Amino acid sequence: MIAEIHGKIRGTGSNLTERLEDELTGNFFGNMRYLPFNKGLKRILTACIYPSSLSSLFDNLDKMEWAENISFWPKEKEAEIDVLLTFDNIVAGIEVKYQSGLSSDDSVNNSEALPDDEEESRQQLARESRLVKRLAGTGDKLLLLLADESSAHSIYAETVRRQLLSDIRFGYITWQKILIELQSMTVDTPFEAVIIGDLTKLLVRKGFERFNGFTPDIPYIDSSLWWAFDYKADVTFGFAVDKKICGGMHYEFGY
């Protein structure tokens, strides 16, 4: 419904498919609005953001009704972002991906450039970061990528490596972690339980359920670091024979 209201779905429904990102954006965040912020989206933001240090931005945010704090697909100059959260102390933009990558990129790499020589990238997240900064004013500024875990970290790492974003905090959330958080949520009313139940079923249907039997200490293995794996070998060798070995004879040793 939210996507259709904002013109992201054609009136004929001809572009309405199960792969449509705008539909997923509207369905998920539109339903989250019906939950108190402290019970719903705040829990997801504080539990699922990577790097986890970014969760502290929401720790002191105490809010129940928050429908007026979210806007969908705000557009300004060079960019449009899927979701914008505007609170007194922080403005957070969320770029939502389902089964696609970034819509635009270039070859800009500021990792070795001097500050005065840095280029302005046309990469999608770089453009959206400038939008968030223009709308945020003097408060904390945050850009989040919400994507499948198979692509979220690689997009995040490449953006950070190239130093495409400046003067803004940047992180990501995966749909898989959101689903796990939804499945562990406890609510106070049957109404809230229906919302959480429907969102859980939606993400399962979208294919975000995964095996969660192990909980590693780190979310991924960074290829830029070295790793050592130690083990204790438990192998013994023996050369005992039951016959006397004599010179001038020949012997065969089998294994």
Dihedral sign from CA coordinates of 81, 83, 86, 87: negative
- pLDDT, tens only, 192-237: 999 999 999 999 999 999 755 554 555 556 655 666 666 666 666 6
Q: What is the pLDDT of residue 227?
A: 65
Q: What is the pLDDT of residue 87?
A: 95
- pLDDT, tens only, 119-137: 999 999 999 999 999 988 8
Looking at per-residue confidence, does 251 or 71 come out higher?
71
Contact 64, 37 (CB under 8 A): yes
Query: In the chain, what are the domain boundaries?
Result: 2-205
Q: Please give the structure tokens belonging to residue 102.
A: 């970034």
Using the predicted structure, report yes or no on whether residue 139 has a pLDDT greater than 90: no
Using the predicted structure, report yes or no on whether residue 149 has a pLDDT greater than 60: yes
Q: What is the pLDDT of residue 117?
A: 86
Using the predicted structure, report yes or no on whether residue 238 has a pLDDT greater than 90: no
- Work out the pLDDT band at 113, boundaries 50, 70, 90: confident
Question: 231-254 b/e with 16+ CB inside 10 Å = b?
Answer: eeeeeeeeeeeeeeeeeeeeeeee
H-type alpha helices, the chain: 2-5, 21-32, 41-48, 124-136, 149-161, 175-184, 190-205
Contact 123, 102 (CB under 8 A): yes
Q: What is the pLDDT of residue 116?
A: 82
Residues with Cβ < 8 Å from 55, sequence gap 6 or more?
45, 46, 47, 49
- pLDDT, tens only, 31-79: 999 999 999 999 999 999 999 999 999 998 999 999 999 999 999 888 9
Residue with tokens 């007194």: 88
Q: What is the pLDDT of residue 12?
A: 47
Looking at per-residue confidence, does 12 or 2 come out higher?
2
Using the predicted structure, report yes or no on whether residue 5 has a pLDDT greater than 50: no
Residue 158 to residue 144: CA distance in whole angstroms:
14
Q: Please give the structure tokens belonging to residue 98.
A: 């389902």
Residue 2 to residue 73: CA distance in whole angstroms:
10
pTM of the model as a whole: 0.77
Arithmetic mean of pLDDT over the chain = 85
Q: Please give the structure tokens belonging to residue 225.
A: 């670091």
Looking at per-residue confidence, does 4 or 53 come out higher?
53
- pLDDT, tens only, 160-192: 999 999 999 999 999 999 999 999 998 889 999
Q: What is the pLDDT of residue 212?
A: 53
Residue 48 to residue 172: CA distance in whole angstroms:
8
Backbone angles phi, psi at 212, to 5 degrees: -130, 40
